[in-house]
A and B are shown apart, each in its own frame.
Chain A
Amino acid sequence: MAPLAPKTGDAVFASIDHVNAELFTLTYGAMVRQLLTDLEEVEEVNKQLDQMYVGYNIGVRLIDEFLAKSNVSRCVDFKETADVIAKVGFKMFLGVTASVTNWDAEGTSFSLVLEDNPLVDFVELPDTFQGLHYCNILSGVIRGALEMVCNVSMKTEVTWVRDMLHGDDAYELRVKLLKQIPEEYPYKDDE
């Protein structure tokens, strides 16, 4: 029998090694700053953080670590997936819990609300970079992780709705399920 999935990530969070929070925040800040210097275009930086390189690749690897350390079994539906991401996943990797709100009518998209976000401690966005989604790495990570995990493999779209650096009161990510890719037999029949 599979062990019961942990309802909160507290136990897992307590058992894994921690890194200094400030080191983490400052490293992330330095990386975003370097990306801005290299690419100069705010849109490009947003894309890099989310899609092209950073976030998505981290997500694809993070999912294995997440599954190994926490004993979650397969999520039965998208709602359960959302809860697991918010309670266990965020807690385990960032040390904060997110809350899941705003389910839409068909149950295919939801919002993750973060009250405090360790990535943005000490950060202020200057006026020239107002279009920057500083935490876009989170959207890439969620997208990458969900594509690898199997309830069915999910293609999702993750966008920022509210962002504290732009003056809102919390961070809100909207996760929308685009399509579910059914499992395929990897070898062709004639090989």
Chain B
Amino acid sequence: MQFFSGSSVVDVSLSPTAPPGTATGHAGNNANVLYIFNRNGVCLLYREWHRLLRTLDASQDQKLMFGLLFSLRSFTAKMDPVSADKGNLGVPLLPGQGCSFYSFRTNTYKLSFMESPSGIKLILITHPKTGDHRESLKHIYNLYVEYVVKNPLYVTGTPIKYASAHVCNVYFLYLLSELFTTNLDQYVKTLI
């Protein structure tokens, strides 16, 4: 457990150490887009660093992404030639049931996916030559826990934004959302 002390900018050391990123590649961020969804399909965070083409408006885009992953998980579990626990096609899969798919790659991007047993889904879109991002996604999940879940003013299940509250509370929430996005940006810069 960690207790924050003081009210000015707090330097929090994260318990998990980041997996070594060799920080080569283009200057600036190597990731393009990040989505975080919760169990009910609410998009908790949408962050983009390099996105050249936008085809849909934001909420449609997020619904499409969530629906895609839902179906992809069902499909990959059903096509699994190895394990027996497949579930039925019409019924939504539980997180952890069936085999879990990690990523798919096209000629222009690679999409990496991670789902926690509590239903938090993380999607990271990067350039296609990148390696396996499971450890990175795990680290981002840890960042989410440290900065968002532990924030007492954050209402679980709502998008990570600023909330309206009294003056000093707003300042506090603003600071921690800032901390989350700053740390996230810094970490993403080191991804290969």
Contact = CB atoms under 8 A, between A and B. Distances in A.
Interface of A: 15-19, 23-24, 60-61, 63-65, 67-69, 72-74, 93, 148-152, 182-187, 191
B152 to A, nearest CB: 9
Interface in B143-164: 144-145, 149-150, 156
Contacts of A186: 39-41, 66
B156 A184 contact: no
A189 B67 CA distance: 11
B20 interface: no
Contacts of B13: 17
Interface centre among B40, B41, B145, B156 (most CB of A within 10 A): B145
B118 A64 contact: yes
Given A60-B156, A61-B150, A148-B119, A74 B95 contact: yes
B144 A64 contact: yes
Given A74-B117, A185-B70, A186-B40, A18 B96 contact: no
B1 interface: yes
Interface string B86-120: 00000111111100000000000000000011111
Given A61-B149, A74-B94, A149 B142 contact: no
Given A18-B1, A74-B95, A184-B92, A65 B145 contact: yes
Given A15-B15, A73-B117, A186-B41, A151 B145 contact: no
Nearest to B14: A17
Contacts of A93: 1
Given A69-B15, A185-B70, A150 B95 contact: yes
